[in-house]
Amino acid sequence: MALPPIDPLVALGVVLSTAVTDAVYVFFNASVSMRRRYAAATWSSIWYLLSAFAVISYTSNWIYVIFAALGAWIGGFLSITALDRVVPLAKNKRGEE
């Protein structure tokens, strides 16, 4: 089975847009958890705008789903890393995380 042709620039665009989309999703969820309405609403709207490029790209060629998954992994990993540096986990009364 031959793979469909891959445009390297589109593949990179899908990875980057999905990474940023996933990072925005993590920040959206953090805002919801902290009950920050305006921040959550803003992150939510940005999340939907960013997802359009990846969805449009990989619906025309299924192979880009692999690049979308890679971008999602990168975005989730980096955004949690950033959140851990900015917003430390709340500790319970015994000082445990």
Query: Is 95 a domain residue?
Result: no
CA pair distance 28, 22, nearest whole angstrom: 10
pLDDT over 50 (residue 49)? yes
C-alpha pair distances (Å), 74 with each of 2, 19, 23: 28, 6, 8
pTM more than 0.75: no
pLDDT at 58: 65
Q: What is the mean pLDDT of residues 67-91?
A: 76
Cβ atoms of 67 and 15 closer than 8 Å:
yes
Which residue type occupies 40?
A
Q: Supply the range of the domain harboring residue 77.
A: 9-86
Sign, CA dihedral 28-49-23-42, equals negative
In a domain, 97, yes or no: no
Counted domains in the chain: 1
